[in-house]
Structure 1
Amino acid sequence: MALEDLAQVSFVNEDFLRKHGLSTSNVLDYFYTSPFYLRCGGPESINERRRRGLREAATTGIEFVVAGANADAREGLLATSIFVLQRVLRRPGESATPQDAFYVLAGTVYKAPSLVDIFDGALSQSARAASSILKKQLESMRQSKEDEAPQAPDSRLGDGWPAWCNFERPAVPAVWLRGAFADSARRAGVPGGEARETGPSHPP
């Protein structure tokens, strides 16, 4: 199993929990039974040299330590216990450098994601969100342009005629009608030559 695959793994040793429970004094022993210990340098760690009783100075190399525990974990309450373990690198004359972190939640062991994985996941999520926003903005702009485009007026004579053709008959101005009536009256010999409007000023 590759190290990157461990982020998808959880581990429970029910037999150990039934026999010993879980507390700050035995949580490392519990962790030693997990695949995380085996795959993350456990067999070559300072912890393993101590377990084998080696007398050589165990000051250099990988070590697994208990970094924290909640109150329930310190009291041995398994159902609500939380432990934080760290894999650290120790060198003579230097402070321990954290390498990996592990959580033990109610007896289940998990590997915490690395900062690189968290940063990469955040970037991927941000890129997907930005892409979605840009896509929606482009769709909105296209829709706005379509709504603002001038619509060609309907033609009563069918779609075969261009839109600029105007077949509407405008109303005749009233002053034209009065002039036409006056001219007709003069020709007919009506005294005074005044026109009389006999119909509506605007033909139907």
Structure 2
Amino acid sequence: MATTPMVPPNPASAGNPNFDAPPPMAAPPPPGTDMTGICFRDQLWLNTYPLDRNLVFDYFALSPFYDYTCNNEQLRLRSIHPLDHSQLLKMTGIEYMLSEVTEPHLFVIRKQKRDSPEKVTPMLTYYVLDGSIYQAPQLCNVFAARVGRALYHISKAFTTAASKLEKIGFVDAENENTVPESKATKEAIDFKELKRLDHILASLQRKLPPAPPPPPFPEGYAPPTAEGEKSSENQQADTQPPVDPIIDQGPSKRRKF
């Protein structure tokens, strides 16, 4: 909000010991310091005057960000528009310049130091957003804030992971107490030893000569196969059926009494 000027002491109360004077108000920080946490807004002025490129500097001059030692203030005292660029080029020192304008919502004002008509050193940047005046943070402060926020989230993630790992360790300890035999069997298997044994066997297999081929079968001999054995058994079953001496021999082969 707009700063209230200090009230001068009442002459009638001077010298009166029974009169308690109000405590003095704290002075705002001087312009040029870190004032990123301050927001200025004068709603009465905004309701009275339009906020455009011609009157925005007069509105900015009411804020605690304004430096009364600037060249713009000297132009105001001479009834010249404070943002007259042709007049500012003839002067040296601290000045304010309107860099970007998006009427009536955004106005960017840059504070700079002019050493010559061609040499200008930027110092700070302010912006008027919908009637509220802010000081833009510097780039180093933005990087420091972003890095600090990232480190905070990283440390929080590590803390959460550590707490979960501790819970997993407690569960493993309970399982060790409940099932000791399964842990003993797991510890009995050494995967490194198995890999070493497989490596030794593979190296020995590469050193040994290949196995010789089997000897050939003699002439006229056909090795039996599973299908051939089945077919021969079926043929024998068809050619030699079981014979009944009474029923299947017929009347001509029966004995005559």
| TM bin (shorter chain) | 0.5 to 0.7
Report runs of 4+ in structure 1 exceeding 6 Å deviation: 54-57
Paired residues in the alignment total 143
Alignment partner, residue 66 of structure 1: 98
TM-score by length of 2: 0.49
Whether 1:48 aligns to 2:73 is yes
Alignment partner, residue 47 of structure 2: 18
Provide the secondary structure at the position in 2 that maps to 1:23: coil
Equivalent residue in structure 2 for 1:83, among 96, 107, 114? 107
- Cα displacement (A) at 1:20: 2.4
Amino acid across the alignment from 1:90: R
Rate the CA distance shift 1:146–1:28 in 2: closer, same or farther, 3 A: same
- Cα displacement (A) at 1:27: 0.9
Q: For 1:41-190, list aligned pairs within 5 A.
A: 42-53=67-78, 58-70=90-102, 73=103, 77=104, 81-92=105-116, 94-149=118-173, 150-153=175-178
Provide the secondary structure at the position in 2 that maps to 1:87: strand
Query: In the TM superposition, what whole-angstrom CA distance separates every residue of 1:127-172 from its partner, at most 9, and x where no partner exists?
Result: 1111101111212222222222343249xxxxxxxx99xxxxxxxx
CA distance, structure 2, for counterparts of residue 106 and residue 32 of structure 1: 16
The answer (yes or no) to whether the contact 1:46–1:58 under 8 Å persists in 2 is: no
Q: Which segment drifts farther, 21-30 or 87-96?
A: 87-96
Amino acid across the alignment from 1:45: C
The answer (yes or no) to whether the contact 1:61–1:90 under 8 Å persists in 2 is: yes
- Cα displacement (A) at 1:99: 1.5
Rate the CA distance shift 1:119–1:14 in 2: closer, same or farther, 3 A: same
Over the aligned positions, Cα root-mean-square deviation in angstroms equals 2.8
Provide the secondary structure at the position in 1 that maps to 2:162: helix
User: Rg bigger for which structure?
Assistant: 2
The answer (yes or no) to whether the contact 2:71–2:88 under 8 Å persists in 1 is: no
- Cα displacement (A) at 1:23: 0.6
Rate the CA distance shift 1:57–1:65 in 2: closer, same or farther, 3 A: closer
What are the ranges of 5 or more consecutive residues in structure 1 without an aligned counterpart? 155-162, 165-204
Alignment partner, residue 189 of structure 1: none
CA distance, structure 1, for counterparts of residue 141 and residue 101 of structure 2: 24
Query: In the TM superposition, what whole-angstrom CA distance separates every residue of 1:94-150 from its partner, at most 9, and x where no partner exists?
Result: 542221111212222111222222122112111111110111121222222222234
TM-score by length of 1: 0.60
What are the ranges of 5 or more consecutive residues in structure 2 without an aligned counterpart? 1-27, 81-86, 182-257
Provide the secondary structure at the position in 1 that maps to 2:176: coil
Provide the secondary structure at the position in 2 that maps to 1:11: coil
The answer (yes or no) to whether the contact 1:28–1:65 under 8 Å persists in 2 is: no
CA distance, structure 1, for counterparts of residue 69 and residue 90 of structure 2: 11
Percent identity over paired residues: 24
Provide the secondary structure at the position in 1 that maps to 2:68: helix
